[in-house]
Structure 1
Amino acid sequence: MTDLSVAKLPGALPDKRQVAASFSRAATSYDSVAELQRDVGQQLLDRLPASIMPERWMDLGCGTGYFTRALGTRFGEVTGLALDIAEGMLNHARPQGGAAHFIAGDAERLPLQASSCDLVFSSLAVQWCADFASVLNEVHRVLKPGGVFAFTSLCVGTLYELRDSWRQVDGLVHVNRFRGFETYQQLCEASGLNVISLENRPHVMYYPDVRGLTHELKALGAHNLNPGRPGGLTGRARILALVDAYEQFRQVQGLPATYRVVYAVLEKPL
């Protein structure tokens, strides 16, 4: 998806209720398989301006609260807000602390007052928002002048090995769709926020077999959530065909799964 209008088409991305339910179910298993998420989030933390000292910060799409706690340690727990659309994730994160308030909310309609935050941090969450322009508008609204929006997301090219392997099997939608990097560039440029940095980097994970990858995606709550996905159980013959197709990608380290990660730091003008 590289066209701005496509990003808003109904059904182009998973329904947010299904996203919330899927991640709620994955709350207890998520951290055990979240190596990619921890690595990407840490790189985003490292990209924050060295001079930033927010009076109030928000972890947008906080999940299990791993980076809520990191932000709380860095900037002060009493000044922090953690927001997620998945109640199950909030129930898992809240007892572990890291922020003063844990809030159930939608990134496209933030339940916060205007100019109330100095920093909005969001790692690997906004790819699930069908209307990213609304996310940017809401972040612009809640940030104070000079405030920073730092986010990571996933874009087209993510899990292309799995997608291409399934295409050889049945042509159905088995892999989550993501926006093109060009769409992120266009929407960020049009957001009214100054683009401090915006880049797209590959992050490759390796697995001994296809089952290892699909098990991890399910444990993360990030398995196939697309409209048009096949219903019911996947037959043994199709699974064997998938395994055979994926073997063409095998490397010395194992079967690769490539994630195309967007890293962005934006600033609200003074």
Structure 2
Amino acid sequence: MTELVQGLPDKRQVAASFSRAAGSYDGVAALQRKVGQQLLDALPVEFSPRSWLDLGCGTGFFTRALAQRYPLACGAGLDIAEGMLVHARQQGGARFFIGGDAESLPLAAQSRQLIFSSLAVQWCGDFVAVLSEASRVLEPGGLFAFSSLCVGTLQELRDSWQVVDGMVHVNRFRQFEDYQKLCAASDMHILQLERQAEVLHFMDLRQLTGELKALGAHNLNPGRPGGLTGRERIRGLMEAYESKRVSQGLPATYQVVYGLLRKEE
């Protein structure tokens, strides 16, 4: 089975954007920490791998968490963004930090017992390749734990832009049903696969867009409008988004996918 999501950003642009955001990322990554912690908590208590990989390690926050949880294991962090790896290496937590791509892992077959990946694989156009590579690198009985984003993420922002000009201003993500189908078709056994909505609230539109930029997760889609966004369109966007305001502020919904797969013995 092949699956290639059209319209996802070029991975070189993703790498460059996250590299630029390495210094600001941790300061605004509250949701990312919450999601990663929930993924970490989903790992079986009795599971104690001798080796693990933090796939899409970013600044290394969960690389360090994995090292604390499995202090005797050989750990590695991998990311496509060199700027993130520079930051992660400075903080430590893993024996190795590697530049690499989730769709073509630079690791030997059956060399890891755990692959942990939080909010990274949504940037991969070919999730079949991600699953295939995870299976190849895992030892029999090993676990692939991942969190990702699916359609419905930042829907309030997407809908507000549709009112203004109908152009692509918000990152695209695959359907949750695609995750279900592709994980079921892989050669790994599904232990958990679910979707949870996380809703953040912001004082105003500027706070939301500023956070997305600081995370490196602002609009990276091909087909996005070039150049500066005009004042009239910004004013229209603000008016459209204000109609969605609730007592806590402007809502921004993230549809988070949690998956836990096991490579069969």
TM-score under structure 2 length normalisation: 0.98
Aligned length, in residue pairs: 265
Would you say the 8 A contact 1:78–1:99 is kept in 2? Answer: no
Match of 1:248 among 243, 251, 258: 243
What's the offset of the Cα at 1:76?
A: 2.0
Question: Which residue number corresponds to residue 183 of structure 1?
Answer: 178
Aligned ranges 1:86-125 → 2 under 5 Å: 86-125=81-120
Matched, 1:63 2:58: yes
Separation in 1, partners of 2:138, 2:43: 15
CA-based RMSD of the aligned residues comes to 1.0
What's the offset of the Cα at 1:78?
A: 5.8
Question: Which residue number corresponds to residue 134 of structure 1?
Answer: 129
Identity of matched residues, %:
66
Would you say the 8 A contact 1:77–1:98 is kept in 2? Answer: no
What's the offset of the Cα at 1:77?
A: 6.9
Match of 1:32 among 21, 27, 32: 27
The aligned amino acid for 1:239 is: I
Would you say the 8 A contact 2:52–2:73 is kept in 1? Answer: no
Q: Secondary structure at the match of 1:249?
A: coil
Aligned ranges 1:234-245 → 2 under 5 Å: 234-245=229-240
Matched, 1:8 2:11: no
Separation in 2, partners of 1:54, 1:77: 9
What's the offset of the Cα at 1:60?
A: 0.1
Would you say the 8 A contact 2:20–2:83 is kept in 1? Answer: yes
Separation in 2, partners of 1:78, 1:22: 31
Q: Which runs of 4+ in 1 moved over 3 A?
A: none
Q: Secondary structure at the match of 1:234?
A: coil
**1:169-191 per-position Cα deviation (integer Å, ceiling 9, x unaligned):** 01110000000000000110011
Aligned ranges 1:73-84 → 2 under 5 Å: 73-76=68-71, 79-84=74-79
Separation in 2, partners of 1:175, 1:230: 11
Q: Secondary structure at the match of 1:118?
A: strand
Would you say the 8 A contact 2:112–2:138 is kept in 1? Answer: yes
The aligned amino acid for 2:225 is: P
Separation in 2, partners of 1:12, 1:55: 38
Separation in 2, partners of 1:204, 1:100: 36
Unaligned 5+ segments in structure 2 are none
**1:61-105 per-position Cα deviation (integer Å, ceiling 9, x unaligned):** 000000000001111276100000000000011010010000000
Q: Secondary structure at the match of 2:147?
A: strand
Q: Secondary structure at the match of 2:151?
A: coil
